[in-house]
């Protein structure tokens, strides 16, 4: 790999554009499968080594907390979108979905990632019973991925300090409504990212 420590903005844009091209190639070849999402995770792991990825300035707030996210690249509202996100250690994100597959790779910090399964479905869309499917602790270079709905329900929290992650979504998750789940009451609400 070339020396990435002195990348100009143009080189950085080129690296991200090449990443997106590589990701399209993976999906064109295999479609959205666990195997292709693992391959996208490998691409994210390489991209996570890009220097100066984490900005000095604050990103847009998300989940109504000090978590935040910014879009690095988007092919459109319903198309592939690359996001850099920061998850707070002070509170877990609400349990939510994105209406899309995604792969995520930790850039800096540690993440307690929880993946949830919805037990009761569609009969009462505003109510849901959730089951914790698995919990993982992720460090730099670790990857997690999820498939399209209904397999995209999760929550995250930084451990001791904020955790920074690259996420590649099949759709622009930052501008599309998502479901927020309350595991105590069973309430489900639809809202834009907050
Ligand atoms: Fe999420």
- CA–centroid distance, 129 to ligand 1, in Å, is 19
Distance in Å, CA 154 to ligand 1 centroid:
6
* Residue 148 backbone phi and psi in degrees, to 5: -65, 165
The overall average pLDDT reported for the chain is: 90
Q: How far is the CA of 83 from the centre of ligand 1 (A)?
A: 11
Q: How far is the CA of 14 from the centre of ligand 1 (A)?
A: 26
Ligand 1 geometric centre to CA of 18 (Å): 24
- Number of residues assigned to the chain: 194
pLDDT tens-digit series, residues 91-130: 999 999 999 999 999 999 999 999 999 987 657 878 899 9
Give 97 Cα–ligand 1 centroid separation in angstroms. 6
Buried/exposed 40-62: b ≥16 CB within 10 Å, e otherwise: bbebbbebbebeebeeeeebeeb
Report the separation in Å between the CA atom of 85 and the middle of ligand 1, taken as the mean of its atom positions: 9
Distance 72 CA to ligand 1 centre (A): 16
Q: What is the pLDDT of residues 41-76, one digit of tens each?
A: 999 999 999 888 887 665 666 666 678 899 999 999
User: Once rounded to an integer, what is the mean pLDDT over residues 144-157?
Assistant: 97
170 versus 57: the higher-pLDDT residue is 170
Angstrom distances, CA of residue 57 to CA of 60, 81, 105, 166: 10, 21, 21, 17
Which one, of 40, 28, 29, lies nearest residue 146 by Cα?
Answer: 40
pLDDT value of position 142: 98
Ligand 1 centroid, distance to 60 Cα (angstroms): 15
Give the closest residue to 83 by CA, choosing from 191, 159, 1, 176: 176
Distance CA 59, CA 1 (A): 29
105 CA to middle of ligand 1, Å? Answer: 12
């Amino acid at each position: 790999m070339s020396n990435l420590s002195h990348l100009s903005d143009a080189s950085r844009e080129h690296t991200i554009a090449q990443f997106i091209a590589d990701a399209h190639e993976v999906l064109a070849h295999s479609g959205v499968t666990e195997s292709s999402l693992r391959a996208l995770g490998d691409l994210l792991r390489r991209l996570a080594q890009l220097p100066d990825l984490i900005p000095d300035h604050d990103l847009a707030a998300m989940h109504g907390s000090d978590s935040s996210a910014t879009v690095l690249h988007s092919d459109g509202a319903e198309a592939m979108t690359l996001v850099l996100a920061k998850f707070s250690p002070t509170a877990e994100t609400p349990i939510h979905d994105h209406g899309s597959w995604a792969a995520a790779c930790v850039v800096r910090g540690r993440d307690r990632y929880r993946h949830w399964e919805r037990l009761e479905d569609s009969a009462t869309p505003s109510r849901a019973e959730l089951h914790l499917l698995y919990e993982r602790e992720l460090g730099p270079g670790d990857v997690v991925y999820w498939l399209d709905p209904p397999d995209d329900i999760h929550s995250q929290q930084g451990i001791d300090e904020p955790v920074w992650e690259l996420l590649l979504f099949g759709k622009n998750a930052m501008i599309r409504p998502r479901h927020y789940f309350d595991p105590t009451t069973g309430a489900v609400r639809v809202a834009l990212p907050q």
